[in-house]
Amino acid sequence: MKKILSIAIASVMLFSNSALAIDYGSEWSGHTATSSTSFKDVPDGHWAKDNIDRVVAKGWFNGYEDGTFHPNDSITRAEAMTVFVKFLGLQLKTVENSSYYDVKITDWYCPYIERGKLLFPKITTYDGQTPFQPNMPITREDTVYALVTALRYTDDTLFADQSALNMFKDKNSISELIKPYMVVAVQKGLVSGYDDGTIGAQDPLTRAEFATLLYRATYIGFGTSVLNLDDDTPTVSSIELAPISPYQMHIGESVQITAHALMSTGTREDYSANLYPVTTDSCIAVDGNTIKAVSAGTGTVKFLNDANLANSTITIVVSNPTGSPVFGTITAPDTVTTSTATITGSVSDPSGAALTLDMDGESVNLSGNSFSKTVNLEVGTNTYVFTVKNIYGATAVKTVRIKRENEAAPVRTAEPTAAPADTATTAPRSNRSDDDDKYLTSMEWSVSSLDMSAGESASIKLYGIYSDGSREDITGNYGFSSTDESVATINSRGKITAVSGGTTRITFNMASSASVSMPAPLKVTVRGGNSTSSGDAVLTGLEWSTSSVTVSAGENATFKLYGIYSDGSKADLTTECGVYALDDDIASVSGTKIKGISKGTTQLWFSSIPSTNISLPGMLDVKVVE
């Protein structure tokens, strides 16, 4: 026999409510064996005898006129509703109309069904009719829904983690509507699985099982959800406002305020028509449900004439996106004979916006607005491209060139033999052409960058520029590689295949004796199922890669801000969204790295949102320790 509904008995909790006549746990204090009810088919030693006796003594259950209880018979939905109404101490009302086409007002159970109808999920047929199915056996999931509702735990279902149901082999047998209720029932100890690893959601309950569950449920205690069974008019339990506070805007932008109400029936309804937002702050203007950013600053939107929103506000942070960041003085040697050199400089933004800096796609740490970067040099002219970006997406670019001289006499290399196709690397070509009167002076890509979709292919070429001004295709002479092959790959002929969303750089191998000016790595951006502008998948929300970050002062930690798409895919949108620290004296952000500056706590937020009407996370907490 399957294991009966398992319930962990919690500490006794006492509640009083005019509509609900249950003092949880305490009603059994005077019950003894001498007050037990005897049924011919429930002998001493029956596993459910004590439970049956208790609920019959409370008047929630009745036996049959012949002195039997029929413990192994199933209990119908109509009978179960009758028990629930008695269990909650609800007073019956006069019924003038039935809510269900298969329940007549002359049926004995009609007043009970009408009184407790909010305890059962509503069933609608394909032709729009609403049945109750009074003579069908009540299932385990029906009972769970009714008890979670009756015990006021419907608010808990909104945040139920359905992964808790993965322990059951037959989790897919649970109706989608019931799954969050089943999670709460398991977590509260109302039900557990059978010995064979199933939950048996569609199994009918016997009268003995139902009596046992009802008795044990009296020890669970009330939750905090609103339950109004005395009035069929749904009430508002809570309001969800969008945008979520704090909301970042640029001057001139507008955003629409929307609201949804969670009702006492468990439904979610549009509440936007009930809003009356106002503000007294000059940096924003409110027109109907529309907020417009007027000037830089922080404003607060409040709501009038609605008790449900009396304490609700939305904070709007308005920034000025005008102007681009600028480079200060960049210090770097023009010519060296060493293998390394240090580049120093500073950056600034006219509006004081937070900045990020990279060199050839690699993040460069900023100390305040200053930076120092040590680079490795090849013989010849080395080119480094620095890009500074503010939180609004405006950029500035600075190119630094350093020439490394080699005091040894140049060695002429032999012309390489042709390499086999599609090999990972090939022998480097000399900077001399077949004509000794001209030689290779620089290289350049055929494109400045690539923007591709996952699954697409594109071909690029590497051109050599010679001393006589000629330009030749030298793609096959060097081995190419991608810095992130999970984003895109490249073969030796310059064919690039986009794999998944993200950004990578294409580089090539060159002999250290080559004295030519080389281009910066080629940037490749791949947009796939995570694209907001093409394909079927759309951006639905953002989420942090971690719930919090702890980092030591002077050390780095990593994080990412992911975009979540309608097909379930994720993409790294950290750079696109412009993540920054609210207190850069405690921590600074560069790309996907956060550096601890001094002991304290701050939070990470982002300056731009790649799409409107998406779900946003809260701020990411950052703790810097010594």
Q: Assess contact for 259 and 619: CB atoms under 8 A.
A: no
> In 98-114, which positions are buried (b, 16+ CB within 10 angstroms) versus exposed (e)?
bebeebeeebebbbbbb
3-state secondary structure of 574: helix
Please state the CATH superfamily assignment of the domain spanning residues 326-404 in this structure.
Immunoglobulins (2.60.40.10)
Matching CATH topology for 440-527 and 539-625? yes
Q: Assess contact for 561 and 606: CB atoms under 8 A.
A: yes
Q: Assess contact for 459 and 480: CB atoms under 8 A.
A: no
Residues of the chain with pLDDT under 70: 1-37, 124-128, 230-235, 264-265, 321-322, 407-437, 455, 510-516, 528-537, 607-613
Amino acid present at 517: S
Distance from C-alpha of 334 to C-alpha of 331, rounded to nearest angstrom: 9
pTM greater than 0.75: no
Distance from C-alpha of 289 to C-alpha of 276, rounded to nearest angstrom: 7
3-state secondary structure of 234: coil
**Closest CA relative to residue 389, chosen from 174, 570, 591:** 591
**Closest CA relative to residue 325, chosen from 296, 346, 347:** 347
Domain 440-527 fold is: Immunoglobulin-like (2.60.40)
| Boundaries of every domain in the chain | 26-217, 236-319, 326-404, 440-527, 539-625
Distance from C-alpha of 556 to C-alpha of 411, rounded to nearest angstrom: 43
Domain 236-319 fold is: Immunoglobulin-like (2.60.40)
**Beta-ladder partners of 472:** 464
DSSP symbols for 602-622: EEEEES--SSSS-B---PEEE
pLDDT at residue 617, rounded to an integer: 84
Distance from C-alpha of 117 to C-alpha of 98, rounded to nearest angstrom: 11
Q: How many CB atoms lie within 10 A of CB 42?
A: 25
pLDDT at residue 29, rounded to an integer: 35
How far out from the chain centre does Cα 423 lie?
Answer: 42
Between strands 502-508 and 480-482, the pairing is antiparallel
Q: Assess contact for 21 and 150: CB atoms under 8 A.
A: no
Amino acid present at 327: F
CATH tag for 539-625 (out of 3.30.70.260, 3.40.50.1820, 3.40.30.10, 2.60.40.1380): 2.60.40.1380
Q: Assess contact for 604 and 620: CB atoms under 8 A.
A: yes
